[in-house]
Structure 1
Amino acid sequence: MSSEVAELKKIVEALQKDVTRLSDESEIRKLQYKYGYYLDKCLYKEVTQLYSNSPETCVEFIGGKYKGKAGVERLYLGRFAPRFVEGRNGPVHGFLLDHPQMQGIIDIEPSGTHAKARFRALMQAGTHKSVQDTHPRGFVQWWEGGLYENQYIKEDGVWKIFKLKYFPFWHASFEKGWANKEIGEFVPFDTKTFPEDQTGPDEIGEQVMLWPDTRVVPFHYTHPVTGQQVRDDDLRAPGWGEDVKDSKPALSLG
């Protein structure tokens, strides 16, 4: 009987771990989805409150790295809010900035307090013709596709964004499509750091990529069958018929 009880305890413990993991995955998925919904409507104060207060917290965006909660607030409150909604917290009439969050793959680390996830964004943005004379963007409409490779942290039982890494993959005007887009046409890459640029990043990154560059954003997870990571050379994108060794180096998540 004692052996049966011991076995039942093991089963219960395993089930408890599975339930906790599934619950954590659900909370992280909801966290990322809520991030997208707040971002849709330029609720930047609410966005920043989703981030951890850890000094290691950061955002990597358009070739720049914004460090700590101060860097996070500089990006959303100091850069995005003035440019898109004249500094207010919330939307302005006639400006579209939808950020659907899709295809989430979430992995909880053994510690149970950290996690990694990959999400896809397919953004629709622009201005209505009725505000083209009053909104600083004029009359514009564009698409954007990108990937997130994020890290999350559980603080006092609550999951928060720890390190957000967004890789914009392509931009396209609604009229011309992605085949005709120019690099930096819609969102320019960072070139100056804070404080020279009062709303700039703390560091300029080296991994600047945008269509027609089609290098693979690395996966935080291994292959589910082989347990192997994708080879670096297979993450690169040589020209048709060209040697992969002559192409740009593979991207990294480091």
Structure 2
Amino acid sequence: MANEIEELKKVVASLQKEVSRLSDQEEVRKLQYKYGYYLDKCLYKEVAELYSDHPDTCVEFLGGRYNGKEGVKRLYIGRFAKSFVAGRNGPVHGFLLDHPQIQGIVDVNPEGTRAKGRFRSMMSAGTHESVKDTHPRGLVQWWEGGIYENEYIKEDGVWKIFRLKYFPFWHAAFDKGWSYTKPNYVPFLSTTYPNDPQGPDELCEHPMLWPDTRVVPFHYEHPVTGNPVADDDLRAPHYGQDPSTGAPPLVLSKPKSEA
């Protein structure tokens, strides 16, 4: 009887651990989805408050890295709000930015304190004809596709975004599509803060935009073989060319405390 009780205790403990893991996965997935809903409506203050206060918190975007909570605010509440909605918190009439967060894969560490997630975003954006003379973007509409490889952290029992790394994989004008997108459609960030008051704290190595098709590295290993993807297979050489002729494979940054 005692042995049976001990076995039942082990089963209950195992089930509790699995329930916690699944609950954490769902909370992280919901966190990323909520990020997308706030971002859709230019609610940049709400977006910034989703981030951790950890000193290694960052956002990587268009070749720049915004460090710490202050860097996060500089990007969203500073750069984005000023560019898209004249500095307000919330949408402006006739301006569209929709960022569905889809295809999410979340993995939580055994301790239930950190997580990593890979998501895809397919964005439709632009202005309505009626505001072409009052919005600084004029009359414009475009598509965008991107990959997130993010890290999350649980602080005081609450999951927060720790390190958001967004790779805008491609852009396309609405009328011509992706085949005619000019290279560097959106210029990479090139000037750091404070020389650019809304710039990143540092620049990232080897940024990418369409027609560059390198693979954004996966935070997880292959689910059957247990192996990572080979570095050469992350490259994107021209058709028929040796992988070594392509740009270097992308590398996911790590927190300074873990480097």
**Shared fold (TM-score, shorter chain, > 0.5):** yes
Q: Which amino acid aligns with 2:233?
A: D
Task: Compute the displacement of 1:188 (Å).
Answer: 2.3
Structure 2, unmatched stretches of 5+, are: 254-259
Q: Following the alignment from structure 2 to structure 1, what is the Cα–Cα distance between the partners of residues 82 and 213?
A: 32
Structure 1, unmatched stretches of 5+, are: none
1:1-16 to 2 correspondences below 5 Å: 1-16=1-16
Task: Compute the displacement of 1:69 (Å).
Answer: 0.2
Aligned to 2:199: 200
1:82-121 to 2 correspondences below 5 Å: 82-121=82-121
Q: Is 240-249 or 89-98 further displaced after alignment?
A: 240-249
Q: What TM-score results when the alignment is normalised by the length of structure 2?
A: 0.96
1:59-70 to 2 correspondences below 5 Å: 59-70=59-70
Partner secondary structure for residue 152 of structure 1: strand
Q: Following the alignment from structure 1 to structure 2, what is the Cα–Cα distance between the partners of residues 221 and 73?
A: 29
Task: Compute the displacement of 1:73 (Å).
Answer: 0.1
Q: Following the alignment from structure 1 to structure 2, what is the Cα–Cα distance between the partners of residues 49 and 184?
A: 31
Q: Following the alignment from structure 1 to structure 2, what is the Cα–Cα distance between the partners of residues 207 and 46?
A: 31
Aligned to 2:25: 25
Aligned to 1:245: 244
Q: Following the alignment from structure 1 to structure 2, what is the Cα–Cα distance between the partners of residues 236 and 83?
A: 33
8 Å CA contact 2:184, 2:210 repeated in 1: no
1:1-254 to 2 correspondences below 5 Å: 1-185=1-185, 187-254=186-253
Q: Which amino acid aligns with 1:204?
A: L
Q: Once superposed, which parts of structure 1, at least 4 consecutive aligned residues long, lie more than 2 Å away?
A: none
Q: Using the aligned pairs only, state the percent identity.
A: 70
Q: Which amino acid aligns with 2:218?
A: F
Deviation digits for residues 75-105 of structure 1 (CA, Å, limit 9, x no counterpart): 0011000110000000000000000000000
Q: Which amino acid aligns with 2:227?
A: Q
Task: Compute the displacement of 1:183 (Å).
Answer: 2.8
Task: Compute the displacement of 1:110 (Å).
Answer: 1.5
Task: Compute the displacement of 1:111 (Å).
Answer: 1.9
Number of positions where the alignment pairs a residue of Structure 1 with one of Structure 2: 253
Q: What TM-score results when the alignment is normalised by the length of structure 1?
A: 0.98
Q: Following the alignment from structure 1 to structure 2, what is the Cα–Cα distance between the partners of residues 156 and 174?
A: 44
Q: Following the alignment from structure 2 to structure 1, what is the Cα–Cα distance between the partners of residues 242 and 222?
A: 25
Q: Following the alignment from structure 1 to structure 2, what is the Cα–Cα distance between the partners of residues 127 and 241?
A: 41
Task: Compute the displacement of 1:184 (Å).
Answer: 3.5
